[in-house]
Amino acid sequence: MKKNKVNKFPSIYLNFTEYILKNKLILVALVIVVFCLFIVSLDFLRNIFLLDDRIEKKEKLIEERIFWENVVKKYPDYRDGYFNLAILEYRLQDFNKTEEYLNKALRLDPNFDEARRLKEEIRN
């Protein structure tokens, strides 16, 4: 006597999910992949926030530079103004301008030790 088979509507999705649930190794691998994607996305978000913070800091340095440029235009013999510009340019990694402002500060005050130290640090 033959058993009557119940005809089910074939579904590749049902077979696929059943296969994954039966094979524990594949299930574990999928969980690990999802976890790794989660970690990578968190790191990506952290990098975006760090980049945004760097942009804000750079904008603030540029604003300070504009302020000190206006100060030295108004007071061209102000040694500390040129030194502050040199520090800002150093932090903005424009070493040519840093040296230019240090030279101006040292022309105004050849005994300015802090300017000499920064100039030596740039050369090294």
Give the tens place of pLDDT for each residue, 13-32: 567 667 777 777 777 888 89
Higher pLDDT: 63 or 54? It is 63
The helix/strand/coil state of 92 is: coil
pLDDT band at 37 (very low <50, low <70, confident <90, very high): very high
pLDDT > 60? residue 76 = yes
Long-range contacts of 105-113 (CB under 8 A, 24+ apart): 105/79, 105/80, 108/77, 108/78, 108/79, 108/82, 109/79, 112/79, 112/83
C-alpha to C-alpha distance for 4 and 90, rounded to whole angstroms:
85
Its CATH architecture, for the domain 12-123, is Alpha Horseshoe (1.25)
Ranges of each domain in the chain: 12-123
